[in-house]
Amino acid sequence: MMNKLKVFLFVALFWSPVVIFAGEGMWLPIFLKALNESEMRDMGMKISADDIYNINKGSLKDAIVHFGGFCTSEIISDQGLLLTNHHCGYGQIQSHSSIDNNLLKNGFWASTLSDELPNPGLTATLIDWIDDVSNAALDGVTEDMSSTERQSAIDKNLVKIKESYNLKSYQDVQIRPFYNGNQYFAFITTTYKDVRLVGTPPESIGKFGSDTDNWVWPRHTGDFSMFRIYAGPDNLPAEYSEENIPYKPKHFLPINLKGIKEGDFTMVFGFPGRTQEYLPSYAIEQIVNVLNPAKIEIRDAALKILDSHMRTDEKTKIQYASKYARIANYWKKWIGENLGLIKTKAIDKKQKYEASYVEKNANHGERLTYLPKFNSLYESITPYAYARDYYLEVVGRNVEALNLTSYLRKLVNTYEENGTEEYGKYKARLENYLTDFYKDYNPEIDQEVFTKLCQMYLDHLESTHYPSMFTGNSDISQIANYLYRGSIVPNADMMTDILNREPEIVIATIKNDPLYALAEEWNEIYTDKINKPYQEYNVQIEELQRLYMKAQMETFTDKRFYPDANSTMRITYGNVEGYSPRDAVEYEAFTTLDGVMEKYVPGDYEFDVDEKLQTLYNTKNYGQYANKEGKLPICFIGSNHTTGGNSGSPAIDGHGRLIGLNFDRVWEGTMSDINYDRSICRNIMVDVRYILFIIDKYAGATRLIDEMKLVK
């Protein structure tokens, strides 16, 4: 009996790599062969590391495109057809929209190549190859250097490395620090500049569920849009021109129409933005107990005010919809992050890890100094970090008029430092910005936000961090009244009028403006009394983190360390799997169109379903896109370790075929940026069959289906 149990345990622990290893890690494609290939194969991958990253022949990496520098996209035809998220293409879709031709509302499908819409400024970046340049970057750098000396030595080395590349005119090289500056990698890139909008579903599909469903599973969003890379006649990057032709890629992703099931291997390939997996427990305590609660409470207050107005006034709802979504996105993420960190006892877990670090380093005097140093540095920095987040959230983000003063400051500085010509150029840009700003601005609402948030600032921060106007003044609403009446900043007409005057008058008026004056003083307090001490401690923390990172890698030699995300190309892999967010609740891994209809609220701005989709549902007209039960798949989740920037990343099966499109994570698992835990960390993907169904059955854009390679 006992033996059987032992065998069972052994099998469960060591023979089931799917269970043990799946999930954690954002790996560099150049090290897959050495670090990951065999595990990936054990988990169900059929292709080789060489098929994923190879610089001598077309490989998967040649289909992965950094979209505009902020999202990921992938090439899915031999004519440069790009797939990314709806929320990634949102800005472009919006820019082609007007009241009479509202692409956001109605969707858009170019019927021929010549109907595809150019997007000035939008780029598509491919990775040509990646080099480990650590030795050259750290050449001559010694441990006794100060951090400034060290940085300047490295900067000089990086210049030399860049020069040593013999790049083509269309290529560029980016060199980034990894493992907190212990290693350096170079990314040689080619950037295409003619990227056109090909198609998008209406918002009711591409943004179905909007803020209510954001970060939430079960999910039913068709979060995709399509673009195309255009090249010059030589297939190389070219500025927009009618003569440009669709780009011929070295590789594009074939599409798996057979579908996926629970447990299947998946990998996600893209450009994750930022993670912090190797922090000491003190840093996590600071995030959980101090910084996240502060940011959450500020945004909570701001969102409540916006919401109360958006609910009662249609115009306000339209004006504030996009701002509200932006503020709510990270507000909701931080709440989920804290929940997850607490639920999985992340601090406890780190402390145990640190205890084992201390034990293993009993004979390393130097390495033992790091944790106590962190302890004292985090203790010192916390009041400043807290004040800094408070200032940045209140002044830098949520009170719009205060936020606007930073642009006015730039105008004043440009005039005083660079003269009238530069002033004129900046003023023209500012005027464009202001037109958009005031279009969606309501001074009464902003005054309410000002009153509430400044009151919170007063209640929570030390008096040395207040602007003098607040000192000894307990009634912020009076101050707010005075400022919002007396200032030109919240007043579009006055501001426009002033900006048309002579530069001297503009500058004098701004400088005399009471709200501007308040912001100026506040900014000085922030710079000298908050940010300066914050940065002084932060430099020391970063330096210590570099040493601690190195020490962790040298201490736990049997652990594979993946570098924190830094917007460079990575692969993560896991399995299709559901999860249990809390007691008695089990989530399945798949959603279907039935769930869209369950959520349907006629006329609602988040959950409306248009007639066309309803008809397709009622007639079950799913064609080749239905699953085995005859239902239409919508989204699925998996244990892939992703973060912001992975939006639009392809979900790829074991054969290298596209099965879905990454666009979000589950709420309880957003803490994966700090503490990945396979029990609740899941990424959310749209099933590729839903995407193709929308293109084909819903939109009738069959010319796009025809250029793809479908595997049935």
Which residue among 644, 650, 656, 660 contacts ligand GLU (CB under 6 A)? 644
- The answer to whether 400 and 441 are in contact (CB under 8 A) is yes
Rounded least distance, CB 213 to ligand ARG, Å: 8
Q: Is 585 helix (H, G, I), strand (E, B) or coil?
A: strand
Least Å distance, CB 671 to ligand GLU, is 11
CB of 382 to ligand GLU, least distance (A): 26
**Contact between residue 266 and residue 653 where contact means Cβ atoms under 8 Å apart:** yes
> Is 73 among the residues that bind ligand ARG (CB under 6 A)?
no
Q: State the nearest-atom distance from the C-beta of 329 to ligand ARG, in Å.
A: 5
The CB-of-605 to ligand ARG minimum distance in angstroms stands at 12
* Least Å from the CB of residue 84 to ligand GLU: 10
* Residue of 334, 336, 331, 335 lying closest to 302 (CA atoms): 331
Binder among 338, 575, 646, 675 for ligand GLU (CB under 6 A): 646
Closer to ligand ARG by CB, 93 or 229: give it: 93
Select from 513, 564, 664, 687 the one that contacts ligand GLU (CB under 6 A).
Answer: 664
> Which range in 208-216, 373-381, 386-394, 554-562 contacts ligand ARG by CB under 6 A?
208-216
List the one residue from 663, 667, 690, 693 that touches ligand GLU (CB under 6 A). Answer: 663
**640 near ligand GLU (CB under 6 A):** no
Q: Judged by CB under 6 A, how many residues of this single chain contact ligand GLU? A: 9
In contact, 94 and 88? CB cutoff 8 Å: no
Q: x/- string (CB under 6 A) for ligand ARG, residues 397-426? A: ------------------------------
Query: Which residue's Cβ lies closest to ligand ARG?
Result: 214
Pick the stretch among 74-82, 206-214, 334-342, 482-490 that binds ligand ARG (CB under 6 A).
Answer: 206-214
The minimum distance between CB 93 and ligand GLU, in angstroms, equals 15
C-alpha dist (Å) from residue 684 to 22, 82, 666:
16, 20, 7
Q: Answer yes or no: are the C-beta atoms of 618 and 661 closer than 8 Å.
A: no
Catalytic residues: 87, 223, 647
- DSSP-derived letter for residue 708 is S
114: tokens are: 């010549």
Among 251, 665, 678, 689, binds ligand GLU (CB under 6 A): 665
Q: Which residues of 191-226 are buried (b: 16+ CB within 10 A; e: fewer)?
A: ebbbbbbbbbbbbbbbbbbbbebbbbbbbbbbbbbb
**693 lines the binding site for ligand ARG (CB under 6 A):** no
Could you identify the residue written with the tokens 């998996």?
Answer: 638
Indicate the residue among 77 and 84 with the shorter CB distance to ligand GLU: 84
Cβ atoms of 118 and 240 closer than 8 Å: yes
- The burial class, CB within 10 Å (0-12 / 13-18 / 19+), for 169 is exposed
Q: What is the number of the residue whose Cβ is closest to ligand GLU? A: 647
Q: 312 to 351, contacts with ligand ARG by CB under 6 A? A: 325, 329
Instruction: Specify the residue, 109 or 215, whose C-beta has the smaller distance to ligand ARG.
Output: 215
Q: Is 214 in the site for ligand ARG (CB under 6 A)?
A: yes
Query: What residues contact residue 196 under an 8 Å CB cut-off, 6+ apart?
Result: 110, 116, 117, 118, 119, 227, 228, 230
The candidate with the shortest Cα–Cα distance to 489, out of 518, 448, 468, 466, is 518
H/E run at residue 444: helix 443-460
CA–CA–CA angle 123, 128, 130 (5° rounding): 115
Q: Is 210 a residue that touches ligand ARG (CB under 6 A)?
A: yes
Specify the stretch interacting with ligand ARG by CB under 6 A; choose among 211-219, 292-300, 485-493, 522-530. 211-219
- CA distance to 251, 286, 315, 647, per residue, from 654 (Å): 17, 40, 49, 21
Interface residue with ligand GLU among 336, 633, 645, 660 (CB under 6 A) is 645
Residues in Cβ contact with 383 at an 8 Å cutoff, skipping those fewer than 6 apart: 462
Q: Which does 325 bind (CB under 5 to 8 A by kind): ligand GLU, ligand ARG, none?
A: ligand ARG
Q: Is 150 in the site for ligand GLU (CB under 6 A)?
A: no
Q: What minimum distance in Å lies between the beta carbon of 670 and ligand ARG?
A: 9
Determine, following the binding rule CB under 6 A, whether residue 271 of this chain makes contact with ligand GLU: no
Rg (CA), the chain: 27
Number of helices followed by number of strands (H, E) in the chain: 27, 22
Which lies closer to ligand ARG via its Cβ, residue 221 or residue 487?
221
Q: Is 270 in the site for ligand GLU (CB under 6 A)?
A: no
Binding mask 378-397 for ligand ARG (x = CB under 6 A): --------------------
- Tell me the two tokens of residue 164: 């040593």
214 binds, among ligand ARG, ligand GLU, none (CB under 5 to 8 A by kind): ligand ARG
Q: Which is nearer to ligand GLU, 92 or 523 (CB)?
A: 92
* 123 versus 662: smaller Cβ distance to ligand ARG: 662
Region binding ligand GLU by CB under 6 A among candidate stretches 281-289, 405-413, 526-534, 636-644: 636-644
User: Could you tell me the smallest distance in angstroms from the CB atom of residue 91 to ligand GLU?
Assistant: 12
- x/- binding map, residues 85-124, to ligand ARG, per CB under 6 A? --x-------------------------------------
Determine if residue 131 is left, alpha or beta; phi over 0 gives left, psi from -120 to 50 gives alpha, anything else beta. beta
The verdict on 642 binding ligand GLU (CB under 6 A) reads yes
The DSSP H or E segment spanning 257 is: none
For position 523 contacting ligand GLU by CB under 6 A, the verdict is no
* Cβ contact 639:575 at 8 Å: yes
| β-pair type (183-192, 124-132) | antiparallel
Full 3-state SS string of 640-702? CCCCCCCCCCEEECCCCCEEEEEEEECHHHHHHHCCCCCCCCCEEEEEHHHHHHHHHHHCCCH
C-alpha atoms less than 13 angstroms from C-alpha of 17 in its C-beta half-sphere: 13
Q: Which is nearer to ligand ARG, 217 or 562 (CB)?
A: 217
Tell whether the torsion through CA atoms of 492, 494, 500 and 506 is positive or negative: negative
Q: Which x/- pattern over 638-677 shows residues binding ligand ARG (rule: CB under 6 A)?
A: ------x--x----------------x-------------
Indicate the residue among 332 and 697 with the shorter CB distance to ligand GLU.
332
Instruction: Kindly state the smallest distance separating residue 72's Cβ from ligand ARG, in Å.
Output: 12
592: phi then psi, degrees, rounded to nearest 5:
-135, 175
CB of 266 to ligand GLU, least distance (A): 15
Q: What's the DSSP call for residue 508?
A: H
Cα–Cα dist 38/49, whole Å:
9
Which residues of this protein are in contact with ligand ARG, per CB under 6 A? Answer: 87, 210-211, 214-215, 325, 329, 644, 647, 664
Which residues of this protein are in contact with ligand GLU, per CB under 6 A? Answer: 642-647, 663-665
